[in-house]
Structure 1
Amino acid sequence: MSLPQYRVGLLAIAAINCEDLLQFYAQLLGQEPQAHIPNIYGEFQLTGLRLGIFKPQQTDMGEFASLPGKAGAMSICLEVADLEAAITHITALGYPPTDTIRIAAHGREIYARDPQGNRIILYQPS
Protein backbone atom coordinates (compact mmCIF):
# COMPACT_ATOMS: atom_id res chain seq x y z
CA MET A 1 0.00 0.00 0.00
CA SER A 2 1.45 3.36 -0.96
CA LEU A 3 0.95 6.39 1.24
CA PRO A 4 -0.69 9.50 -0.16
CA GLN A 5 1.61 12.41 -0.93
CA TYR A 6 0.48 15.44 1.03
CA ARG A 7 1.28 18.72 -0.72
CA VAL A 8 -0.09 21.56 1.37
CA GLY A 9 -1.22 21.94 4.96
CA LEU A 10 -3.95 24.22 6.21
CA LEU A 11 -4.43 25.11 9.86
CA ALA A 12 -8.17 25.67 10.29
CA ILE A 13 -9.67 27.35 13.35
CA ALA A 14 -13.40 27.02 14.08
CA ALA A 15 -14.95 30.19 15.44
CA ILE A 16 -18.61 30.83 16.15
CA ASN A 17 -17.98 34.53 15.38
CA CYS A 18 -15.38 34.07 12.67
CA GLU A 19 -15.41 37.75 11.60
CA ASP A 20 -13.98 38.86 14.97
CA LEU A 21 -11.18 36.31 14.73
CA LEU A 22 -10.54 37.18 11.07
CA GLN A 23 -10.22 40.85 12.03
CA PHE A 24 -7.76 39.98 14.83
CA TYR A 25 -5.54 37.86 12.54
CA ALA A 26 -5.71 40.50 9.76
CA GLN A 27 -4.35 43.04 12.25
CA LEU A 28 -1.79 40.63 13.73
CA LEU A 29 -0.48 39.47 10.35
CA GLY A 30 -0.78 42.85 8.61
CA GLN A 31 -2.77 41.46 5.70
CA GLU A 32 -6.34 40.88 4.63
CA PRO A 33 -7.53 37.31 4.00
CA GLN A 34 -6.82 36.17 0.42
CA ALA A 35 -10.04 34.19 0.35
CA HIS A 36 -13.05 35.62 2.21
CA ILE A 37 -16.70 34.66 2.40
CA PRO A 38 -18.22 37.06 4.99
CA ASN A 39 -19.39 35.35 8.20
CA ILE A 40 -18.37 31.94 6.84
CA TYR A 41 -14.65 31.68 5.95
CA GLY A 42 -11.38 33.56 5.56
CA GLU A 43 -7.90 32.35 4.69
CA PHE A 44 -4.48 33.92 5.11
CA GLN A 45 -1.40 32.87 3.13
CA LEU A 46 1.94 32.94 4.93
CA THR A 47 5.19 31.44 3.72
CA GLY A 48 4.83 27.77 4.55
CA LEU A 49 1.36 28.06 6.12
CA ARG A 50 -2.24 28.58 5.14
CA LEU A 51 -4.42 29.72 8.03
CA GLY A 52 -8.16 29.29 7.60
CA ILE A 53 -10.82 30.56 9.99
CA PHE A 54 -14.34 29.25 9.53
CA LYS A 55 -17.78 29.33 11.07
CA PRO A 56 -18.99 25.77 11.70
CA GLN A 57 -22.08 24.55 9.87
CA GLN A 58 -25.32 24.81 11.85
CA THR A 59 -25.39 21.02 12.20
CA ASP A 60 -21.93 21.10 13.84
CA MET A 61 -22.63 23.96 16.29
CA GLY A 62 -23.05 21.62 19.25
CA GLU A 63 -19.53 20.31 18.80
CA PHE A 64 -18.13 23.86 18.83
CA ALA A 65 -20.58 25.46 21.31
CA SER A 66 -18.02 25.68 24.10
CA LEU A 67 -15.11 26.92 21.98
CA PRO A 68 -14.47 30.19 23.85
CA GLY A 69 -14.04 28.23 27.06
CA LYS A 70 -11.51 25.83 25.53
CA ALA A 71 -8.44 28.04 25.78
CA GLY A 72 -5.37 26.47 24.30
CA ALA A 73 -7.15 24.04 22.01
CA MET A 74 -4.73 25.14 19.29
CA SER A 75 -1.30 26.74 19.22
CA ILE A 76 0.11 28.66 16.29
CA CYS A 77 3.84 29.40 16.16
CA LEU A 78 4.92 32.49 14.25
CA GLU A 79 8.58 33.23 13.60
CA VAL A 80 9.41 36.94 13.83
CA ALA A 81 12.53 38.94 13.00
CA ASP A 82 12.18 41.22 16.06
CA LEU A 83 10.51 39.74 19.14
CA GLU A 84 10.20 43.08 20.95
CA ALA A 85 8.43 44.66 17.97
CA ALA A 86 6.06 41.67 17.81
CA ILE A 87 5.33 42.03 21.54
CA THR A 88 4.59 45.74 21.09
CA HIS A 89 2.28 44.97 18.15
CA ILE A 90 0.22 42.22 19.81
CA THR A 91 -0.02 44.28 23.02
CA ALA A 92 -1.36 47.23 20.98
CA LEU A 93 -4.04 44.89 19.60
CA GLY A 94 -5.19 44.32 23.19
CA TYR A 95 -3.73 40.83 23.66
CA PRO A 96 -0.47 41.23 25.59
CA PRO A 97 1.82 38.27 26.28
CA THR A 98 0.74 35.98 29.08
CA ASP A 99 4.26 35.44 30.43
CA THR A 100 7.82 36.68 30.17
CA ILE A 101 10.24 35.95 27.34
CA ARG A 102 11.59 32.40 27.50
CA ILE A 103 14.90 31.16 26.16
CA ALA A 104 14.50 27.92 24.21
CA ALA A 105 16.90 25.85 22.14
CA HIS A 106 15.60 27.49 18.96
CA GLY A 107 15.74 31.09 20.26
CA ARG A 108 13.62 33.47 22.35
CA GLU A 109 9.86 33.06 22.56
CA ILE A 110 6.78 34.47 24.24
CA TYR A 111 3.19 33.30 24.54
CA ALA A 112 0.02 35.28 23.94
CA ARG A 113 -3.63 34.34 23.31
CA ASP A 114 -5.96 35.24 20.46
CA PRO A 115 -9.54 36.46 21.16
CA GLN A 116 -10.73 32.86 21.31
CA GLY A 117 -8.04 31.80 23.79
CA ASN A 118 -5.82 29.89 21.36
CA ARG A 119 -2.13 30.17 22.15
CA ILE A 120 0.12 32.20 19.87
CA ILE A 121 3.83 31.51 20.23
CA LEU A 122 5.95 34.33 18.86
CA TYR A 123 9.59 33.35 18.51
CA GLN A 124 12.79 34.91 17.27
CA PRO A 125 15.39 32.35 16.19
CA SER A 126 18.84 32.49 17.75
Structure 2
Amino acid sequence: MGINVEYQAALVTLAAANFEEIVEFYEQLLAIAPNPYRPGVYAEFSAAGLRLGIFKPKASHESEFLTQGSGSMSLCFEVTNLEVAIGHLSQLGYPPPGEILIASHGREIYAYDPLGNRLIFHQSIEPFPSKL
Protein backbone atom coordinates (compact mmCIF):
# COMPACT_ATOMS: atom_id res chain seq x y z
CA MET A 1 0.00 0.00 0.00
CA GLY A 2 2.98 2.37 0.21
CA ILE A 3 4.33 4.49 2.98
CA ASN A 4 2.00 5.55 5.78
CA VAL A 5 2.93 9.18 6.44
CA GLU A 6 1.90 10.57 9.82
CA TYR A 7 1.07 14.23 9.43
CA GLN A 8 1.55 16.51 12.42
CA ALA A 9 -0.05 19.66 11.03
CA ALA A 10 -0.79 21.49 7.83
CA LEU A 11 -0.76 25.15 6.97
CA VAL A 12 -1.10 27.45 4.00
CA THR A 13 1.92 29.61 3.20
CA LEU A 14 2.27 32.67 1.02
CA ALA A 15 5.54 33.95 -0.42
CA ALA A 16 5.79 37.73 -0.33
CA ALA A 17 8.54 40.05 -1.57
CA ASN A 18 6.64 42.89 0.16
CA PHE A 19 6.68 40.91 3.41
CA GLU A 20 5.78 43.65 5.92
CA GLU A 21 2.85 44.91 3.83
CA ILE A 22 1.36 41.42 3.63
CA VAL A 23 1.92 40.71 7.33
CA GLU A 24 0.23 44.01 8.21
CA PHE A 25 -2.72 43.21 5.91
CA TYR A 26 -3.37 39.82 7.53
CA GLU A 27 -2.76 41.23 11.02
CA GLN A 28 -5.51 43.78 10.40
CA LEU A 29 -7.78 41.35 8.55
CA LEU A 30 -7.62 38.67 11.26
CA ALA A 31 -7.27 41.16 14.16
CA ILE A 32 -4.44 39.15 15.72
CA ALA A 33 -0.68 39.47 15.91
CA PRO A 34 1.49 36.88 14.17
CA ASN A 35 3.07 34.25 16.39
CA PRO A 36 5.76 33.23 15.73
CA TYR A 37 7.10 36.35 14.06
CA ARG A 38 10.58 36.96 12.66
CA PRO A 39 10.65 40.43 11.05
CA GLY A 40 11.51 40.31 7.37
CA VAL A 41 11.59 36.50 7.36
CA TYR A 42 8.48 34.69 8.65
CA ALA A 43 5.11 35.37 10.28
CA GLU A 44 2.40 32.89 11.20
CA PHE A 45 -1.24 33.49 12.07
CA SER A 46 -3.59 30.99 13.72
CA ALA A 47 -7.27 31.84 13.53
CA ALA A 48 -10.47 29.81 13.32
CA GLY A 49 -8.60 26.59 12.53
CA LEU A 50 -6.39 28.19 9.87
CA ARG A 51 -2.63 28.34 10.14
CA LEU A 52 -1.32 30.89 7.67
CA GLY A 53 2.41 31.34 7.22
CA ILE A 54 3.92 34.24 5.32
CA PHE A 55 7.56 34.17 4.33
CA LYS A 56 10.00 36.23 2.33
CA PRO A 57 11.81 33.92 -0.09
CA LYS A 58 15.57 34.09 -0.24
CA ALA A 59 16.81 35.99 -3.29
CA SER A 60 18.00 32.73 -4.84
CA HIS A 61 14.43 31.35 -4.74
CA GLU A 62 12.35 34.43 -5.64
CA SER A 63 11.67 33.34 -9.21
CA GLU A 64 10.27 30.03 -7.98
CA PHE A 65 7.76 31.68 -5.66
CA LEU A 66 7.02 35.11 -7.03
CA THR A 67 6.72 34.87 -10.83
CA GLN A 68 4.05 32.19 -11.23
CA GLY A 69 0.98 34.36 -10.51
CA SER A 70 -1.74 33.70 -7.99
CA GLY A 71 -2.71 30.34 -9.45
CA SER A 72 -5.88 28.53 -8.50
CA MET A 73 -5.44 28.58 -4.73
CA SER A 74 -7.99 30.49 -2.66
CA LEU A 75 -8.03 31.33 1.02
CA CYS A 76 -11.58 30.76 2.26
CA PHE A 77 -12.96 32.40 5.38
CA GLU A 78 -16.36 31.45 6.75
CA VAL A 79 -17.96 34.45 8.46
CA THR A 80 -21.17 35.03 10.38
CA ASN A 81 -21.93 38.36 8.67
CA LEU A 82 -20.80 38.89 5.09
CA GLU A 83 -21.59 42.61 5.04
CA VAL A 84 -19.35 43.20 8.08
CA ALA A 85 -16.52 41.31 6.35
CA ILE A 86 -16.99 43.41 3.20
CA GLY A 87 -16.89 46.59 5.26
CA HIS A 88 -13.70 45.44 6.97
CA LEU A 89 -12.01 44.64 3.65
CA SER A 90 -13.07 48.02 2.26
CA GLN A 91 -11.70 49.78 5.34
CA LEU A 92 -8.36 48.01 4.77
CA GLY A 93 -8.30 49.37 1.21
CA TYR A 94 -9.10 46.07 -0.54
CA PRO A 95 -12.83 46.15 -1.30
CA PRO A 96 -14.24 43.17 -3.16
CA PRO A 97 -14.44 44.05 -6.87
CA GLY A 98 -17.67 42.12 -7.52
CA GLU A 99 -21.09 41.49 -6.11
CA ILE A 100 -22.22 38.97 -3.52
CA LEU A 101 -22.82 35.59 -5.14
CA ILE A 102 -25.61 33.24 -4.10
CA ALA A 103 -24.79 29.53 -4.06
CA SER A 104 -26.65 26.52 -2.73
CA HIS A 105 -24.47 26.58 0.38
CA GLY A 106 -24.79 30.29 1.15
CA ARG A 107 -23.60 33.71 0.10
CA GLU A 108 -20.03 34.56 -0.81
CA ILE A 109 -17.85 37.29 -2.23
CA TYR A 110 -14.39 37.29 -3.72
CA ALA A 111 -11.66 39.70 -2.76
CA TYR A 112 -7.90 39.85 -3.19
CA ASP A 113 -5.00 40.44 -0.83
CA PRO A 114 -2.12 42.78 -1.73
CA LEU A 115 -0.35 39.88 -3.52
CA GLY A 116 -3.38 39.16 -5.70
CA ASN A 117 -4.29 35.94 -3.87
CA ARG A 118 -8.00 35.19 -4.08
CA LEU A 119 -9.91 35.47 -0.81
CA ILE A 120 -13.38 33.95 -0.57
CA PHE A 121 -15.59 35.16 2.25
CA HIS A 122 -18.53 32.81 2.77
CA GLN A 123 -21.66 33.07 4.92
CA SER A 124 -23.67 29.88 5.31
CA ILE A 125 -27.44 29.94 5.01
CA GLU A 126 -29.96 28.18 7.17
CA PRO A 127 -30.72 24.66 6.04
CA PHE A 128 -33.40 24.55 3.39
CA PRO A 129 -36.84 23.80 4.82
CA SER A 130 -37.97 20.25 4.28
CA LYS A 131 -40.92 19.59 1.96
CA LEU A 132 -44.26 19.51 3.66
Q: What TM-score comes out, normalization by structure 2 length?
A: 0.87
- The number of residues matched between the two structures is 124
Alignment of 1:13-28 (within 5 A): 13-28=14-29
Q: Would the aligned equivalents of 1:72 and 1:117 in 2 still touch at CA under 8 Å?
A: no
The residue that corresponds to 1:76 in the other structure is 75
The residue that corresponds to 1:109 in the other structure is 108
What secondary structure does 2:84 align onto? helix
Amino acid at match of 1:34: N
Deviations 1:33-79 (A, max 9, x none): 01100011100001321000000012102223436xx2455310001
Q: Would the aligned equivalents of 2:14 and 2:55 in 1 still touch at CA under 8 Å?
A: yes
The residue that corresponds to 1:34 in the other structure is 35
Amino acid at match of 2:80: A
What secondary structure does 2:13 align onto? strand
What secondary structure does 1:78 align onto? strand
1:8 shift after superposition = 1.6
Unaligned residue ranges in structure 1 (runs of 5+): none
The residue that corresponds to 2:93 in the other structure is 94
Q: What fraction of aligned residue pairs are identical, expressed as a percent?
A: 48
Unaligned residue ranges in structure 2 (runs of 5+): 126-132
Matched, 1:118 2:120: no
State which structure, 1 or 2, has the greater radius of gyration over its C-alpha atoms: 2
Q: Distance in 1 between matches of 2:71 and 2:61?
A: 20
